[in-house]
Structure 1
Amino acid sequence: MMDVHAGGHAQQEDLKLLLRMVKPKYYVPIEGHHDFLHSNAGVARELGWEEDKLFITSNGQVIEFAGGAGRLTQEKLPADYVMVDGLGVGDVSEVVLRDRQLLAADGIFVVIITIDGHNGKVIGSPDIMSRGFIYMKGNKTFVEEARKKIVEIVQPKIAEEKPNGMYLKNKLRDELGEFLFKKIQRRPMILPVVIEV
């Protein structure tokens, strides 16, 4: 047997065979773009189904069957996409989806910086992790430039007064974001972690 993939949509002859065998009173093509639905209904028309027995619906549109007759109504039920995330169904927020789109488009740049809580000095060199943004081993010069920029951004502020973690994170996110965009023309999600010891 040849390894050939066939699409999930039935061919016209398959549809005709199904219609001849089942002989439904009403025919409702489902799943596909509207042009496919119309083509599908056209197969039933060829076999003699009348227009009032063919229903081409929009997502959520109600078909009412009562007293042996069917009719397409103007009523619409909610038919939005339902996002499934692990075990949760329909609980994926817009913020989570936006973050995932950002991560997919430009990656993430994580900065971990340790600050002395007494004198406000940066301890050691900032740690940087990058996923989906740059390959760190192949961009060592750029990574060192980024480390220097991080210290430049943080050091003046914390020398003035006791460090404020939230302020530093926002400052890092904004100014480092500008630096990265100027250098690489991409805007990764920047996740600053400020550790005060």
Structure 2
Amino acid sequence: MRRADIHADQSTFASILNASANLALISLGKQLHAHVIIARFESNIYCGSALLDMYAKCGSFKDSAAIFGSMPERNGISWNAMISAYAKDGDAEATFRSFEEMANPGFRPDHISFLSVLTACSHNERVDEALRYFDTMTQTHGLVPRKEHYASLVDVLCRRGRFAEAEDWMDRMPFEPDVVLGFELMQDPQESGVCKKGGL
């Protein structure tokens, strides 16, 4: 592009940053970040969100937080990217705090927001919070849980040894549990026959 004297715009930078994020190439991402700064696109909401997501997927969570803090404006994408970054980092408190702060500017959490929060609950074995957020998702926001939301809930219940509750939630799902969900329940050596729930 540069050799052909084609100047990248905000959308181009955002797309390339997303590609480098999916490849987890931090060196390429930092080079792109430098070009974003030179092009004076760092304050652009889409470039900022893409930078945030790129650093998070590369495991550089401090950089993600720094980008988020410097953004002059944010949208649902940038909020979800930050919430997801904290969840990936295993920081449950920061995940919860960002989730609650998201509502202050008037943004409504979506399926992605709740999946990040439930993931943080699962990784930190926060059962009560997981159940509360799952209930908030359905009762307060009217969102229909997807298989990945149920999977996170089943996972945190199994991590805490609450296998009967996990099996009960699998029975409530409006679709057939898959092998992954079945494997979660197999971790209880005292359960008999539960592997059939997952189609194993």
TM-score above 0.5, yes or no: no
Which structure has the higher relative contact order (CA within 8 Å, separation 6+)?
A: 1
Structure of higher CA gyration radius? 1
What is the TM-score of this pair, normalised by structure 1? 0.23
Counting helix residues as a fraction of each chain, which structure ranks higher? 2
Q: TM-score, normalised by structure 2?
A: 0.23
